[in-house]
Amino acid sequence: MASEAPSPTIPLLTPCKLAKFNLSHRVVLAPLTRQRSYGNVPQPHAILYYSQRATKGGLLISEATGVSDTAQGYVDTPGIWTKEHVEAWKPIVDAVHAKGGIFFCQIWHVGRVSNTGFQPNGQAPISCTDKGLTPQIRSNGIDVAQYTQPRRVRADEIPQIVNDFRLAARNAMEAGFDGVEIHGAHGYLVDQFMKDQVNDRTDEYGGSLENRCRFPLEVVKAVADEIGAEQVGIRLSPFAHHAECWDSNPKELGLYMANSLNKYGILYCHMVEPRMKTPLEQVECPDSLVPMRKAFNGSFIVAGGYDRKDGNNAVAEDRADLVAYGRWFLANPDLPKRFELDAILNKYHRETFYTSDPIAGYTDYPFLEVIS
């Protein structure tokens, strides 16, 4: 009797060696702000949220987590700068590890994407510039976010901000995370320094590409020195215009960073595709991330608008080692299983992305009913 034909290989579901981490598949939970950490403290309901999406040998990246009390710009986003934060994260991390997952904490500072209401003592937000951000329509398409003109940080203050990232990385490891991802994307502080349409400094942190990337690379070095380069990643979006933060030569910027990161031997570089779209932002660019992928020596994660087919092609064509999914993983806690079966995906509900509800649009998306 003829044997059955072997099942076709699904590239996204093949194993991947990520330094000391043995991944069973290449589907990554992208960092997703959910605004359910009341008072900047991670909450018990996050235990279920993250553990639902954890699989043995699967990589999860946490929502963006503030490195200091000046890092905030949104309601109820988590922090990692106090002992209370560390203790609150521990049971969440433990729940992911109990499922066999690998969990990285994304650490961030929003910079000028803030206002005095989020800042200690009502002070102005800090940035590389004193150029303000115009009011922005929020992702729900209704509300308007107001921003305060930022204060340009002095060069002698920058080491303290670098140290905030270093201490946040140490705290993340104390909380049990397997590593950290530095948020260098989407118009926040690290990105503000890199992009020439925001950074108008004339000192050693502005002007040339090398100078604009000085602060980001100082953060990378400090974090890598603190916890070990093999436990550090960074997310970059050289092509994006989010929060009025863009660069006149994004390909050059992306290549410079990819090459410069090699000096520090970090674990991975996580880049957002130029085709990345949101309802409020349309970014089209004929360039791709392939040159950056080739330039960077570590593992390469891509994100931005991928579906199952796109992700499989990216891995099969060696354009990426791993593919991060945001909205689809949010709405499908069993996304790797659905990709395995090529099953229909739950639709995501944008109106519940950023609510404070501990259940609705958070832990109530259904799993597949698989009959064994």
Annotated catalytic residues are 188
User: Which run of H or E residues covers position 34?
Assistant: none
CA distance 13 to 24: 7
Taking the C-alpha atoms of residue 371 and residue 261, their distance in angstroms, rounded to an integer, is 46
Alpha-carbon span 50 to 250, nearest angstrom: 33
Give the CA count within 13 Å in the CB-facing half-sphere of 204. Answer: 7
Spatial CA neighbour of 89 closest among 176, 182, 183 = 176
Q: How far is residue 210's CA from residue 40's CA, in Å, rounded to a whole number? A: 34
Token couple for 220: 């990378």
Contact 12, 323 (CB under 8 A): yes
CA dist list (Å): 277 to 39, 184, 242, 283:
30, 18, 10, 6
Cβ atoms of 287 and 250 within 8 Å: the answer is yes
Residues 6+ apart with CB under 8 A from 128: 111, 152, 153, 189, 192, 193, 198, 199, 201, 205, 206, 215
Task: Give the number of C-alpha atoms closer than 13 A to the C-alpha of residue 159, restricted to the C-beta side.
Answer: 1
111: left (phi over 0), alpha (psi -120 to 50) or beta: left
